[in-house]
Each structure stands twice: as structure tokens, then as C-alpha cells.
Chains A and B, each alone.
Chain A
Amino acid sequence: MTRIIVRPPSRLNLPQWRELWEAREVVYRFGLRDIVLRYRQTVLGVAWVVLQPLASAGIFSIVFGSVAKLPSGGVPYFLFSFAGMLAWNVFNNVVSRASGSLVANQSLVSKVFFPRLLVPLSAVISVLIDFAVAFVMFIVLLFVFRVNPGWEIILMPVWLLITILFASGIAVAASAITVKYRDVTYLLPWILQILLYATPIAYSLAAVPKGLLWLFELNPLTWLLETVRWSTLGQPIPPVWQLVALPVSAIVVFLAGVLVFQRYERGFADFI
């Protein structure tokens, strides 16, 4: 039988990957709990998942497409913003659902031992379900609007993985910091709101003035959105440096987030 040795955590406290893997069922159970809780005692139930992306894509196409008359690269505006929302919703939902998860489960964190990293990570499960539903709708819409994205659409799982790495890196760090500083809960939605407008989700980069373009290109989410729209709508392919920088930065953000989490982790049970 293997013995478990517990020592004080060192400065650079790497997660125990094996332990995380062994406790993977916790992620599944947490995810299941989130889903059950979200749709139990709601009037519309699962219809929410379908309505939400449709409504936000609808409002964007009215505001930006019909009122502001912004260009959409030759595809119907509704489809254009729907594709943007696909990626953005994954990012936004992972960050906002996971960031408060540790505080919401504080009784668990202070009374039961399990790898705490699993708490924020389990938020990904319910987001994936939402994504799956929205993606099926997107495919239907492609047929309705007769848009052929080409073979690139099969790359979607790769972009999805990158989005999740990005988002969970930020979310995991935010959830850990929230344990110590509760006002992160108020700060984060505000930052997400700004990002929503600072990222070409409802508009295309073509609408951005030349002088400001560099500012938009600093934002990794811009690379992501451009890549997703290349892959799903047959838009022009983004520059190669963006295609390379995207996965690299996603991995860096994820690992950095995990390290921040681990740094705070030893104090969780004492702080909460």
C-alpha cells in the first residue's frame, strides 16, 4: 500500500496531477449538481440554453447590424454575431461561474479534503453543455442561411479547448483571490463587461479605425474571435503570428492561473 506523506507546502507549490486525476469524478458530480440545480425550479427549464444565445445574437444584430450598420464580412449579421457569441459565452461563463465557486462551497473547502482545484474547474462542465446546444443551433443556422464554412469547421474543438484553457486559467486564479478579497466578485463582471465591448464579438475588425487597430490586436481574445470566425464562417484567415500566439498564450495563462491558485490554496481553510 502506498503511504501518503504530508509536508508543508513549498514556495512553488505545483498541483499533484495524479491526485487531481484520481478525483476526476468529483468534477463530474459537481458539474451534474450545477446542471440539475440550474434547471430544477425554473419555469423555462432547458429552453434557457436555447433562448440565451439566440436573444443576445439577435440584440447584437439589431444594434450593430441594423442601427449602426457595421460590416460583417459578407455573412448575415445574425450569423456573424452568433459565431462570436459562441466563443465569448464559453469564456465569459467559465470565468463568471468559476470565480465565486470556492466561496460558494466554503463549507466543503473548510471541512473535507479533496483537490480544491476541482471546484472552479468543475464549472467547465455546465458551460460545455451550453456550448454543445448552442453549437448544434449554429450548424442549423448555417444551413438556414446557406453559408458553407468549409473544412475548417472541424477545427472547432481545438478553439474550444483553447478558450477553456484561457478562461479557466483566469477563473482559477480569480476564485482563489476571491477567498481572500471578496470584492473581486464585483470587480470581475465589470471587467468582463468591458472586454465584451473591447473584443470584436458583435462587430468585425474591419470596422475598427486603422489608428486603433494595434490596441485591439494586443487582446488575445481578438485573436480567438478572429480565428473562430475564420473556422466557422469562412472569414479570412488571421495572421500566422496570431494562430501561433493563441495556443501558446492559452497554455501560459492556464499554468499561471494554476500557480496563483496553488499559492493561495494553503491558506483556504484558514481564511474562509
Chain B
Amino acid sequence: MRDTAISVEGLTKTYRILRGGQATNRITDAVINRLRHPLQRPKFDEFHAMSDVSFDVPWGEAVGIVGRNGAGKSTLLKLLTRITAPTSGLIDLGGRVGSLLEVGTGFHPELTGRENIFLNGSLLGMSQKEIRRRFDEIVDFSGVEKFLDTQVKRYSSGMYVRLAFSVAAHLETEILAIDEVLAVGDAEFQAKSIAKMRDAARNGRTVLYVSHQPQTVTALCTSAMFLERGRLSYYGSVDGAMEAYRDTFESYQVQQQDADSRPGSGALRFSRVAVTEQTQDPVDDIVIEFATFANPRLIGNYFVSCHINDNDGNVIVQCDSRLTGDWFDPDKERRGELRIKSLWLKPGRYSVDFYLCQSSGVLDIWEAADSFEVLPSSPYPEITIDDAISHGTVLADFQYEETR
């Protein structure tokens, strides 16, 4: 008998992808296929979403799970919360796992807030008694008491999320798994939620936290794992995990250049993305050239979106061509240039992600398409100590004037 919160041994999750086209979702087709080819067995390609992962998490830890797109963060959480079953290996849990994968699942829009608290609570594994006992606390925390008997479909999205998070946050499970919820809600509610999660860990419970924004991991977690292509490549201190995350940037960049290994439907992909100036000053315009392949059979125009990320993977700015009304026709190969004006980046290394999308879905995601360095030259007239610019994420063109 172990005394860990979570022990995992040789955990593997394999997805089978049918070779040779689409799997049918019609039983008639399935039966006809079987009759036509009675001896043929369907062939599958195996995709290892998680391979041979082992670790022990002691009680009272808040563990952050970081990794790039497709590294297996969500798969790991789904396995630990038992939403999906492992292909091999063993998971040994020291208690009930409460999960909070995308808040508000299980909320029904036609039901009132009160009804949803009970429905959602029982789905998450609370007993009626437990819910009734903590009902006032839940309502208090969410701050929607006035609208308890209103149907949830009439809620603002903020209220909806606050209520959903409150239910889950009051779960008394020994282990709590959270997938990116802090991105929602206003600042005050975020602070409340973070405090709540810290409390959970302090009371000896174990919190697992998956994030695509590494800064929240730094703020919240006592230890962290770094996942890379379905393998656990680092488990230890938060700083260590963040360092591992940064160190793998270059190999990740090389891997992503192969269009087939990138996520997205693949109906149309980028052929090239390049930042024109690899080193620049904070005040310089950032100019990024991109080119796409052609797919004349693709119907509908597409748009592109660009993320500029800092060294820790936090998205600093998003430049979406929908905002400027630029849509492109996939009929021929296209080349374009994105010019970002009046963004003053702080000195440091930045990476560029490019997305190619249609309204119906994402065609290509090219993370770490390129990177550039902003030189430590100050755009300001006076030279001061670092303390004057160290707070804040970006720099800005500002001036002070005395008014009367």
C-alpha cells in the first residue's frame, strides 16, 4: 500500500487511426464493408499520445503540467480523471479525483442556477447532503445569488463560468484536476480562484493544473512536469520545468518545420514563415513574411492569425487578419507580410506562432515558426536602472505632463 496522492507506472495511451481514409460512422456501411470483405481486417496506424510515463506525486502538492501543443497534457489529465482508459500501465490514486476540465460542462442552459448546482455537483461526485451543506458557500463564492432561480441560458458568460467554477471548487475530493480555467472570469474572481486552489493544496489535497499559459503555473504550483511528445521529460521544481520548456524550443522548431507533423486539418498549410529582422530594437516594426500553398479544391476563404510569445510561452499579442478584414482565397499560392506597428517589446527572445483557419476549423497550426531577439536597447530618453522597466509585460510610448 502506497502513501502517495498519485502513482503512475508505465502509463501508455495509444489511439488507433484507421488507415486508408475515413472511418465510417454508419452502421449500414460497416455491415456492407464486412460483407464485401469478410476476411479483411481493418488496418490501423498507432498513435502514442502517452508512452511509458511513470511518476509519484506526494500529498499536498500543486503540480503544474506544461508542454507544447500535442505533448499529451490533456491526455494525461483525462487518464488521471478516468475519462479515458489507459492502453497499458497502471494508475494508483490515493482518493477521489475531482475534475474541472473546461468549466461548465454538465450545466444545462434550460435549468436554473440552483438546479444546475445540484446536477453538476452530483456529476462531479458530491452527495446531495454534501451539496446542501455547502450550498450557501458555493453561491456566496460565485456571487450570483440574485439569479439563482434564473435559467442559466440567461446568464452572462462571466456569471456562468463563476457559478460553474464555484461548484467544482467546493468539491471535497482529495485530488483536484484543473485544465485551464483561470483564463476566464474577471481579475477579482481569478484572484479568488487562485487563493482557493492554494488553500486546497495547503490542506493536504493535491492539485493538478494543466496550462498553456506557463505564467500561471509559476504563480500557483509547487512542482511541475514537462511533457514532450507523450513522454515525461522533466518532473521536479517549477523553475526546472520552465527551463526544460525553454531548452526544447529549438528542437521543437525544427520538428514543426515538417508540415505533416503539425496539427490542423492539413487541407492547406503554410509553406514559409520568417521574421525579416532576427534582431531588432524595441521600437522597430515587427515584420513577418509568410507564404501558403494552394488548394484550388478548398471552398471558402481563409484567414491567418499570428501569436507573438515571450520566452516562457506566454502570448503577448495576437494579430488576427479577421480584425483587419483580410481574407485570402486558397486558389493559388500566396505570399504576404504582417507588419506590427507600435508594439514595444521588452528586450528578450520571442517566438512566433502562425494559424491558418477557416470559419469551419483550423487548417494549420505552426507553433514556433520563427523567433527573434529584441536587443536590450532602451527606447526611452533617460537611462535608468532595470527596476524602471522590469514590471510589466511590454513597453509603451508614454509621456508625463503636468496639468493644471
Residues of A within 8 A of B (CB): 1, 3-9, 23, 25-26, 28-30, 32-33, 36-37, 40-41, 107-108, 110-114, 177, 180-184, 187, 266, 269-270
Contact = CB atoms under 8 A, between A and B. Distances in A.
Interface string B270-288: 0000000000000000000
Given A4-B93, A108-B105, 18 more contacts: A5-B90, A6-B79, A8-B86, A23-B125, A29-B123, A32-B119, A33-B115, A36-B110, A41-B110, A111-B106, A112-B81, A112-B105, A112-B124, A113-B99, A183-B25, A183-B28, A184-B27, A269-B83
Given A7-B90, A36-B115, A108-B106, A113 B28 contact: no
A269 B78 contact: yes
Given A9-B85, A182-B25, A26 B99 contact: no
A188 to B, nearest CB: 11
A183 B27 contact: yes
Nearest to A4: B93
A113 B93 CA distance: 14
Task: Give 10 closest A-B pairs by Cβ, nearest first.
Answer: A181-B27, A6-B91, A269-B84, A4-B93, A111-B105, A113-B82, A266-B85, A183-B26, A111-B101, A25-B122
Interface in B1-32: 1-2, 15, 24-28, 30
B360 to A, nearest CB: 19
Contacts of B93: 3-6
Interface of B: 1-2, 15, 24-28, 30, 78-79, 81-97, 99, 101-102, 105-106, 108, 110-111, 115, 118-119, 122-125, 127-128, 174
B77 to A, nearest CB: 10
Contacts of B89: 8
A261 to B, nearest CB: 14
Given A25-B127, A112-B124, A269-B84, A3 B94 contact: yes
Contacts of B85: 6, 8-9, 266
Contacts of A32: 115, 119
A32 B112 CA distance: 13
Contacts of B115: 32-33, 36
Given A8-B86, A183-B26, A270-B15, A112 B123 contact: yes
Contacts of B125: 23, 114
B314 to A, nearest CB: 26
A6 B86 CA distance: 8
Nearest to A187: B27
B132 to A, nearest CB: 12
Contacts, number: 111
Contact of A8 (B30, B88, B97, B99): B88
B94 A113 contact: no
A33 B91 contact: no
Nearest to A109: B83
Nearest to A180: B25
A11 to B, nearest CB: 13
Contact of B26 (A23, A26, A28, A182): A182
Given A8-B87, A113-B82, A114-B123, A3 B15 contact: no
A177 B30 CA distance: 12
B27 A177 contact: yes
A3 B84 contact: no
Contacts of B27: 177, 181, 183-184, 187
B102 to A, nearest CB: 6
A79 B101 CA distance: 52
Nearest to A269: B84
A5 B9 CA distance: 11
B90 A29 contact: no
A6 B90 contact: yes
Contact of B97 (A41, A107, A113, A181): A113
Contacts of A28: 122
Given A3-B1, A37-B110, A40-B110, A107 B90 contact: no
Contacts of A266: 84-85
B102 A111 contact: yes
A7 B86 contact: yes
Given A3-B2, A4-B93, A114-B123, A37 B84 contact: no
Given A8-B89, A182-B25, A184-B27, A113 B127 contact: no
Contacts of A25: 122, 127-128
B83 A112 contact: yes
Contacts of A8: 85-89
